[in-house]
A and B are shown apart, each in its own frame.
Chain A
Amino acid sequence: MFSLENITNLVSTWLYANLDPTWALVVQFVIVGVLVISLFSILGLVLIMMERRVAAWMQLRLGPNRVGPRGYFQTVADTLKLIVKEGMTPDGADKFLFNLAPFIVMIVSMVIMAPLMFAKGFQIWDVNIGVFFITAVSSVSVIGILMAGWASNNKYSLLGAMRSGAQIVSYELSAGLAILTIVVFSGSLQVSTIVESQADGWWLLKGHVPAVISFVIFIIAVTAETNRAPFDLAEAESELTAGFHTEYSGMKFALFFLAEYVNIFVVCAVGATLYLGGWMPFHIGNWTSFNQVMDYIPSSAWFFGKTFFLIFVIMWFRWTFPRLRIDQLLNLEWKYLLPISLFNLLLATVIAIMGLHF
């Protein structure tokens, strides 16, 4: 059976056999860095293409169809355009912060990739507080957004950044509580353990009602956290022209844009790991033959399939719903999502203590 685990083990053994341990580690770092950066750019291209196709098909259109076969090189062409475009810094801007902000946002979305388990045994850093690490680091990106909004010296940017700050800080609560539900079920913060605990069934299926509720809340909260419509108030196009990145152009804008899409990927990957079993294949009770067929599908395919399904759902939201208003957005969080998720966590705890889940 095809597995990435063999390859990584092979590389690791070879490195430690031929180099001294320090250098082997350094070489591993370099390999991982190159892999993450290439994944970053590939994800950007793929997700932007996917978004444009999904949008077009939902809107009775064709989508990109001029560059390359069926328009598949459109995003490549766009990237080339953005690279050669002049990256302007406004005269009144705080130049240091202005130029720093996109990098903070981008680095954050790269760092969150560390504890993600892309396939069986294919993980950069299996830290024992993996889920906690993800929630903690993802809140740093709001600093980048606030920085961009403040440093631009533009009223629209400032309004967008402030909206974004209020929004991300509040939605982190219910996202965290939703994650906590699964942590309670699986009894671990480590990503690999959480995935292992779903070998006999995904938490979404065996966690009763609390898991389903927390899954819905998780999807809503991460949509808000990544500033996606219907919660895209930070860049609300028709209100604030482009929100916090109004003044950015060229590659600096592209970094924000890429980071947005990579963030979507990361949160959807977390959702897939927690609720849909990560790389675990879909198994049904004691249908042995069915389960064996499922096992033949590579674990990476399972992981990416689930993640892209969640990404599709989030895109589906975007192209269907109108945008919320800022006070309604906060009402939704504090009056609906937070009480429900607190109550839900209590229920989940009771179920976990009584051992009622499958």
Chain B
Amino acid sequence: MSFIRQYLSDVISGVKSLLTGMRLTGKYFIKHKETNITQQYPDNRQELFAGLPDRFRGEVVMSHDDNNEHACTGCTACELACPNGTIKIVTKFDMTPEGKKKKAIDKFVYHLELCTMCNLCIEACPTSAIKMAQNFEHSVFDRRDLTKVLNKPGSKVREGVE
């Protein structure tokens, strides 16, 4: 008899455990309006971008002010700090009003396709010329578009930044 009792209690406890699971999924099925966690991505772009935290690392940008001036002196600290060779700085020599030669950046080349967003260049920059932007939509049709020049054309170093 004990064999049959064991057999029956096995069956009953097994069925019970299955019903416990079904109760949970059933609950989610009925309350699906409250429980769903889907974000409808392209539709919610506006809120998504507004909700991105300030520290989110999307790409490296160089901040320019209204006079089209930036703070990059071309010291190549970021280039040295970068583990992947993402940043290449091309320098040129400007003439200061006093007639002296002064080193300045010609092009700040940034290879987005190599960048791992590790933030080491931002940490290394002594003048806070570059920062991370909150953008994650990087896909392009031509990979050459991923190589960017960060300093705007005609921009120059802000006065007083050494």
Contact residue among A58, A62, A65, A336 (Cβ-Cβ distance under 8 Å from B29): A58
Is B21 in the interface zone, CB < 8 Å from A?
yes
Is B25 in the interface zone, CB < 8 Å from A?
yes
* Majority SS at the chain B contact face: helix
* B161 neighbours in A (Cβ, 8 Å): none
Chain B, 56-71, CB within 8 A of any chain A CB: none
Contact residue among A54, A62, A336 (Cβ-Cβ distance under 8 Å from B38): A62
* B29 neighbours in A (Cβ, 8 Å): 54, 57-58, 316
* B37 neighbours in A (Cβ, 8 Å): 60-61
Instruction: Give the residue name and chain of the B residue nearest to A316 (CB).
Output: B22
Is A59 in the interface zone, CB < 8 Å from B?
yes
* A54 neighbours in B (Cβ, 8 Å): 29
Instruction: Give the residue name and chain of the B residue nearest to A319 (CB).
Output: B25
Q: B28 to A60, Cβ gap below 8 A?
A: yes
Nearest Cβ distance between residue A353 and chain B, in whole angstroms?
Answer: 25
Contact residue among A57, A62, A321, A336 (Cβ-Cβ distance under 8 Å from B28): A57
Per-position binary interface string of chain A over residues 316-338, scored 1 when its CB falls under 8 Å from any chain B CB and 0 otherwise: 11011100000000000000100
CA distance A320 to B24 in the complex (A): 9
Tell me how many residues of A have a C-beta within 8 Å of chain B: 15
Instruction: Give the residue name and chain of the A residue nearest to B19 (CB).
Output: A320
Per-position binary interface string of chain B over residues 14-35, scored 1 when its CB falls under 8 Å from any chain A CB and 0 otherwise: 0000100110111011001001
Nearest Cβ distance between residue A55 and chain B, in whole angstroms?
Answer: 10
Q: A320 to B25, Cβ gap below 8 A?
A: yes
Select the residue from B22, B24, B26, B40 with max chain A CB neighbours within 10 A. B22
Per-position binary interface string of chain A over residues 57-92, scored 1 when its CB falls under 8 Å from any chain B CB and 0 otherwise: 111111001000000000000000000000000000
Is B11 in the interface zone, CB < 8 Å from A?
yes
Is B36 in the interface zone, CB < 8 Å from A?
yes
Instruction: Give the residue name and chain of the B residue nearest to A57 (CB).
Output: B32
Leading 6 A-B pairs by shortest Cβ distance = A57-B32, A58-B25, A62-B38, A320-B25, A320-B21, A57-B29
| A-B contacts besides A316-B22, A320-B18, 8 pairs, CB < 8 Å | A54-B29, A57-B28, A58-B28, A60-B38, A65-B40, A320-B21, A321-B21, A336-B11
Task: List residues of chain B with CB under 8 Å of any chain A CB.
Answer: 11, 18, 21-22, 24-26, 28-29, 32, 35-38, 40
